[in-house]
Structure 1
Amino acid sequence: MTTVDTAAVCDQEVAIPIGAVELAAHLRIPDHPVGIVVFAHGSGSNRHTPRNTSVVEVFAGHRLATLSIDLLTSAEAIVGAKVFDVELLGTRLAITRRCLRSSSICRELPVGYFGAGSEAPAALWAAAEPRDKIRAVVVRGARPDLAGARLGGVMAPTLFLVGGLDIRVRTVNHRAAETMRCEHRVTVLAGHGPGSADLRISQRAAYVAAMWFAEQLRAHPAPAAGPTRDGDVDESVG
């Protein structure tokens, strides 16, 4: 990982070398962070999308550092096979997490994953890597079940954010959650569904996610298997 060791507060572009490619990312570290969230982007959304930069601001307000990474190069993002390759995206996300260990400014921070839309299953796939000690996960919508058998290997407390009006996605998320052995919660964002202009992340969803990460990264040591907590919590969206 390059150009990370600068100062206690950081807001800059960085490059993540992964095999033959170099992935673009943005590192934002507020004062006295409680942890760092790796925010995964694949297709249709990148680290500079206004909605995503607003999420980073919300996270910073909760003392959460963020590494917003584009898991595909610009050339790869137009190749359908790569866009939906959960193992490829998950592997790159896991390698990115390991790169954080080479940075003196990040290596001691507990790490969480955030995946929305097509990146949701990739975040869960990567979180199942036992040596990476992921402390918390949030996924938003889409098909987390595409992580397949890897769901059973996720030990980090996991929050599923789903649209209240989208019955299909809500059902898929509940089924995925039921296969997990870790602490988890399904939270329904009222007012979000097929008619929403953008199913990615609203300001309300960003706030709920930030609260989850702040609580889990601050309070939890390395995760271990334990009883599940599968609630169906309704949240009104402002």
Structure 2
Amino acid sequence: MDVRSSAVTIPAGNADLPADLLVPAEPVGVVLFAHGSGSSRHSPRNVAVAHALNEGGLGTVLVDLLTPDEDEVDSVTAELRFDIGLLAGRLAGIVDWLAAERPVGGAPIGLFGASTGAAAALVAAAQRPDLVHAVVSRGGRPDLAGAALGQVRAPTLLLVGDLDEEVIALNQQALGQLTAPAELRLIPGATHLFEEPGTLEQVAEAAAGWFHDHLHPQPARA
């Protein structure tokens, strides 16, 4: 499939964030990625999932949620990677940019979050209920979204390795607090990072199916 790639800078609050935009012809939706703690837009697992989504006709946005200066501080203190409020605010700002600038036209927006990025994605979805139409979490910590879980309206898929027992328990707790349509799905033979052969491919397939089922073109505004 022909996929157009471009490097962009996205304003989000008080930060200008570098991002990689991958857009197939006539995308059926666009998925904004929220990477996990200590990672970046170059996360090999998220890049692999993004390419699989592109093959399925979905646009993707891979973005650094911290500025270079913040990332330098975080590499020493590890404090910002767990600042869910900060990360969610940045994601919400990017969602606003996607809706206003329309770099992928009017394609409906979904969020894909990994690890702590899943919590930020869910908080952002709660903050932008009219713009975010589906959420997928990979090995996520949705429990860190706190009270925002009950405010999420977007259908949410929680993907966890079936060998990742601690995170399974945390996702089960979060599932009970979600009021939107939600599902917890276990990936057989996978640990937390989905490094086992074939497991990341299962994540990509499940995510693509979820987004195709729940991202639908929105009616034009009058």
Tell me if both proteins adopt one fold, taking TM over 0.5 as the criterion. Answer: yes
**3-state DSSP class of the match of 1:75?**
helix
Partner residue, 1:62: 56
Shift in Å, 1:195? 8.8
Q: Deviations over 1:171-223 (max 9, x none)?
A: 1101101111110110000111269658xx812211111111111113888xx
Structure 1 position 142, deviation (Å): 3.6
State the partner residue of 2:28.
34
Separation in structure 1 between the aligned mates of residue 188 and residue 145 of structure 2, nearest angstrom: 25
TM-score (ref. length: structure 2): 0.87
Which residue of 40, 47, 62 maps to 2:41? 47
Matches within 5 A, 1:127-206: 127-130=125-128, 132-193=130-191, 197=195, 202-206=200-204
Question: Take 1:16 and 1:187, find their aligned partners in 2: how far apart are those partners?
Answer: 33
CA deviation after TM superposition for structure 1 residue 133, in Å: 2.5
Change (3 A) 1:84 1:144: same
Whether the 8 Å contact between 2:111 and 2:121 is mirrored in structure 1 is yes
Aligned residue pair count: 212
**Does residue 84 of structure 1 match 2:82?**
yes
1-side partners of 2:47 and 2:139: how far apart? 19
Q: 1:44-102 CA distances to partner (integer Å, 9 max, x unpaired)? A: 32222333222111001111001111111233232422110001000100010001123
Partner SS for 2:39: coil
Cα distance in 1 for residues equivalent to 2:79 and 2:45: 26
- Report sequence identity in percent: 42
Q: 1:142 to 1:156 in 2, by over 3 A?
A: closer
Which letter maps to 2:214?
A: Q
The answer on whether the counterparts of 2:95 and 2:131 sit within 8 Å (CA) in structure 1 is: no
Please name the residue that 2:215 is paired with. 217
* Cα separation, 1, equivalents of 2:45 and 2:195: 12
- Normalised by the length of structure 1, the TM-score is 0.81
Match of 1:115 among 110, 113, 116: 113
Tell me whether 26-35 or 133-142 shows the greater mean CA deviation.
133-142
Pair 164,105 (structure 1): closer, same or farther in 2 beyond 3 Å: same
Distance in 1 (CA, whole Å) between partners of 2:54 and 2:125 is 22
Q: Deviation per CA, 1:129-160: give whole Å up to 9, x if none.
A: 14543110001124211100000000000000
Task: Judge conservation of contact 1:40–1:93 (CA < 8 Å) in 2.
Answer: yes
Judge which range, 17-26 or 64-73, deviates more: 17-26
SS at match of 1:185: strand
Pairwise CA RMSD of aligned residues? 2.3
Q: Where does the alignment leave 5 or more consecutive residues of structure 1 unmatched?
A: 1-7, 222-238
Query: Quick check: 1:75 aligned with 2:73?
Result: no
Deviation at 1:169, TM superposition (A): 0.8
Long gaps (5+) in structure 2: none
